[in-house]
């Protein structure tokens, strides 16, 4: 059974940057409702109510009932896009898709891994989750709240793929079913620098000191001695 939530909305007159700027100054955010056999409906939302709701739900698969002021019945919708300001991270626009009973929709459903795998508990493996949400198609009443996967049996170097999961009747996965959802991997070992490298560097420094104190000085002394000897 799908998650549901309620959000009040008001119809707005006009579109464009000027209207949107005035709405935001008044603590509201512009929104649009669209769908099959429905002309776009321009709305506005209370920004605080909208942000509070969006932070508390799974926005990809929660049915939001929009209670539009002046309308007798709420619109059943899915959130299709949320736009935020790149710096302030505040809402700037929201798109809603009107849904209808019996008509399939595409949604992303979060995946929850349940339990501690055998390969982690007994073999020191690491659980790696590759896919965190799954694209499915179904009618609104069949939208899963989440896809819960028991991973306690998973041993090291073993994986769970999409085709390993049983979904409810009427729920169709819309991506490649061979894809891996999660696996238990052998932990990577980070090798520390070998001591030989340090010893080699120390040896180079010593060799440089010998050359500086020994060979060049001796060459200079020989040249000086030869010159003086020639004069004598």
Report pTM: 0.74
Cα separation of 135 and 60, whole Å? 10
**65: which 2 tokens?**
């009932």
Q: How confident is the model at residue 14 (pLDDT cuts 50, 70, 90)?
A: confident
Look up the CATH number of the domain holding residue 132: 2.170.120.20
Report the percentage of the chain scoring pLDDT > 70.
81
**Is the separation of the CB atoms in 167 and 136 below 8 Å?**
yes
At 55-71, the pLDDT tens digits run 999 999 999 999 999 89
Cα separation of 160 and 152, whole Å? 11
Q: What is the pLDDT of residue 18?
A: 83
At 188-198, the pLDDT tens digits run 776 666 665 55
In a domain, 204, yes or no: no
Cα separation of 61 and 52, whole Å? 17
**94: which 2 tokens?**
């929201």
Ramachandran assignment for 14, one of left (phi > 0), alpha (psi -120 to 50 degrees), beta (any other): left
Q: What is the pLDDT of residue 17?
A: 82
Mark which of 74, 98, 122 sits at the end of a domain. 98
Domain range for 79 is 3-98
Q: How confident is the model at residue 177 (pLDDT cuts 50, 70, 90)?
A: very high
Q: What is the pLDDT of residue 220?
A: 46
**105: which 2 tokens?**
């929709």
b/e string for 2-19 if b means 16 or more Cβ within 10 A? Answer: beeeebebeebeeeeeee
Q: What is the pLDDT of residue 75?
A: 94
> Distances in Å between the alpha carbon of 106 and those of 74, 78, 111, 137, 144?
21, 10, 16, 5, 12
Q: Is residue 124 predicted with pLDDT exceeding 90?
A: yes
Same domain for 131 and 93: no
16 DSSP 8-state letter: S
- Out of 20-24, 106-110, 185-189, the most confident range is 106-110
Q: What is the pLDDT of residue 94?
A: 96
Q: How many domains does the chain have?
A: 2
């Amino acid at each position: 059974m799908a998650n549901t939530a309620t959000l009040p909305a008001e119809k707005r007159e006009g579109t464009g940057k000027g209207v949107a700027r005035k709405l935001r100054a008044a603590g509201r955010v512009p929104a649009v409702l669209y769908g099959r056999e429905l002309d776009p409906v321009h709305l506005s939302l209370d920004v605080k109510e909208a942000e509070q709701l969006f932070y508390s739900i799974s926005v990809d698969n929660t049915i939001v009932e929009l209670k539009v002021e002046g309308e007798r019945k709420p619109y059943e919708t899915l959130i299709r896009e949320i736009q935020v300001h790149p710096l302030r991270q505040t809402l700037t626009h929201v798109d809603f898709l009107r849904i209808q009973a019996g008509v399939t929709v595409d949604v992303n459903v979060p995946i929850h891994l349940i339990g501690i795998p055998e390969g982690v508990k007994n073999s020191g493996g690491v659980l790696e989750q590759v896919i965190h949400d799954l694209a499915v198609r179904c009618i609104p009443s069949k939208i899963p709240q989440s896809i819960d996967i028991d991973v306690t049996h998973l041993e090291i170097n073993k994986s769970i793929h999409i085709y390993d999961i049983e979904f409810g009747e009427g729920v169709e996965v819309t991506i490649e079913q061979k894809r891996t959802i999660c696996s238990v991997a052998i932990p990577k070992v980070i090798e520390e620098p070998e001591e030989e490298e340090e010893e080699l560097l120390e040896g180079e420094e010593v060799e440089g000191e010998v050359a500086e104190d020994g060979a060049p000085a001796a060459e200079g002394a020989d040249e000086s001695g030869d010159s003086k000897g020639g004069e004598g």
